[in-house]
A and B are shown apart, each in its own frame.
Chain A
Amino acid sequence: MNNQDNLSRRRFLQLTATGLGSIYLLSQCSQPFSKWRFFTNAEARLMDAIADQIIPPDEWPGGRESGVTNFIDKQLAGPYVRYQEEYRKGLLAIQNSCETRFRKKFEELKWDEQTAFLELMEAGKMKEASWKDEFDKTFFALIRDHSMQGYYGSPRHGGNKNNVSYRMLQLDYPLIIGQNRYKS
């Protein structure tokens, strides 16, 4: 509890005025809010389904529960900003292909149908025009790589929730390593 912050009168007035003014803006809080930084809610639902396909849940949480979507979303708004366009285009192409083939969204497909769909992507065998120039193959590889990074990387980057992969691999994390201790 320190009161030693140097707050000038001018700065205080500025803060008070902005703060009080901002109360009026609180009305905007009633508007729908997305917890995602880059993804739309619909894209995040699709990403969750894909993440679970890439890292299926078993006795350990899968890609969705371990926060892979959050990891990718966080990186796309940061260091991976260069992949934003590919994700927007790729996720739309997946939903369009699913609508064309099954009249359903990807996340509404049965588990085996989802797997088969992604296997086609991985093999570069998607026929739709939106997948030309082997975009199916490269986009699948991109999501797979990012999912792995999210699952196995440090939780500080947004994935690997509750150190799930570290615990699964029985890694000592946080590291158990002693201090230099002198003998008294």
Chain B
Amino acid sequence: MINKSISRKLYLLVPAILVLVLIGFSIFYTYWNSASPSKTCASCHEIESSVNILFKSAHRELACKECHGTALSNGFHSLKEKGMMVVNHAKQDFADEIKLNEDQMLEVMDNCVRCHKSEQARWLSGGHSAKYKDIFLNKKHNTTEQLNFDCLRCHGMFSEVTIKELVEPLDIKGLWKFKDSKVADKPVIPCLACHQVHQEGFAHKNPDYASPQSAFYERKSNVSKASFYNRQDQTHVLAEDLPKLKLWEGERPVKVSDDPLMRNCIQCHAPAAHHQAGTSDDRTPRGVHEGISCLACHDPHSNDARRSCIKCHPAISNCKLDVTRMNTSYADAKSANNIHWVACSNCHKVKKPGME
């Protein structure tokens, strides 16, 4: 009789406790996901500095979950991930620096494009949306390029494995294949290759309509839109903190634009180590375009340079020609006059003062 009574109570008690725990957890979870980050995520010491930077960033209005998701946003995967954070915290097993792995970074990217759809569309239409398979399963690449550790500096900077663990064979004899085929469809240059969310910045705001002519003067210079992800150090470097290219054409130093955003481009579209113009993948403007920034012509997301000439040139140039139809690689891919370094003297064989 006693046993029966106890087991009946247990039948009632256990579900009741479970329901209470569930209600408690739901209340806690709802609070956690709706309260200000200063009362939730920022109270976690490990990520305090990251959250503090976010509060000073252009994304300061966003809750952490908008980019990082919640414990329940991705099933067991996210539950396990967030659960481990609490476990590690309780064990005081603090990571010195918290880093996103490649999959976590791509999850964040999925959230970037929820708001930045236009940027994503342009990125998809350009050369920077290449996937691992586009780079590493390309027949011509396979038989022309010698793979080395540094390939991943620009093609797969977030890869958690080395080139040796990523692809085989490491020579130009046979077609390359992935050791783990799951990487094939991952982008090699994702948003966070050139952008850092946790960095100081400010959101754009409406001008003061009482004095609209003051809009220009009220705008602050906000060049920190780009950062380069330095694979070697696993950290972002602000575009303005990147080195400015020193480039030589023979003995002559080439004038290079001071545009900090261009420094991001140069990190990958770089000359060979001796910094001679035109070597390796150098496309630094020279000739008639010397000193201008890549971004003067190229859209940063799509890389598209169509209709860029009209931004600076009169419809008809000083040569009385339509600049878009001149014999350059802009109009014709086979032209010998590369638009990046075409000079007056390429066409005008008789030099006049100022044409050097």
Contacts and interface: CB of A to CB of B under 8 A. Distances in A.
| Chains A and B form a bound pair | yes
Interface of A: 1-3, 5, 7, 12, 15-16, 18-23, 25, 29, 33, 35, 37, 74, 154-156, 162-163, 166-167, 170-174, 176-182, 184
A2 B107 CA distance: 9
Contacts of B48: 35
Interface residues of B, number: 57
Given A5-B80, A155-B233, A182 B86 contact: no
Interface in B22-41: 25, 28
Contacts of A181: 280-281
A174 B266 CA distance: 11
Contact of A1 (B107, B241, B242, B246): B107
B84 interface: yes
A73 to B, nearest CB: 11
5 contacts: A1-B103, A1-B107, A5-B77, A155-B235, A176-B267
B234 A156 contact: yes
A155 to B, nearest CB: 6
Contacts of A7: 76, 80
A25 B280 contact: no
B281 A15 contact: no
Contact of A174 (B80, B146, B230, B269): B230
A20 B76 contact: no
Contacts of A16: 83
A178 B270 contact: yes
Contact of A176 (B44, B145, B243): B243
A182 B43 contact: no
Contacts of A166: 243
B133 interface: no
Contacts of B110: 1
Contacts of A22: 86-87, 89-90
Contacts of B80: 5, 7, 12, 15
Contacts of B281: 178-179, 181
A interface majority secondary structure: loop
Nearest to B229: A174
Interface stretch (B117-125, B206-214, B271-279, B315-323): B271-279
A15 B281 CA distance: 50
Interface in B177-205: none
Contact of B241 (A23, A33, A37, A163): A163
B61 to A, nearest CB: 25
Contacts of A180: 145-146, 280
A162 B150 CA distance: 22
B282 interface: yes
Contacts of A19: 83, 86-87
A120 B86 CA distance: 49
Contacts of B28: 23
B113 interface: no
B356 interface: no
A12 B81 CA distance: 11
B103 A179 contact: no
Interface string B102-142: 01001100100000000000000000000000000000100
B75 interface: yes
Contacts of A15: 80, 83-84, 87
Contacts of A182: 140, 144-145
B262 to A, nearest CB: 12
B83 A176 contact: no
Contacts of A29: 43-45
- Most B CB within 10 A of own CB, among A5, A21, A29, A177: A177
- Rank and list the top 3 A-B pairs by shortest CB-CB distance, nearest first: A178-B280, A22-B90, A19-B83
A61 to B, nearest CB: 12
Contacts of A20: 21, 25
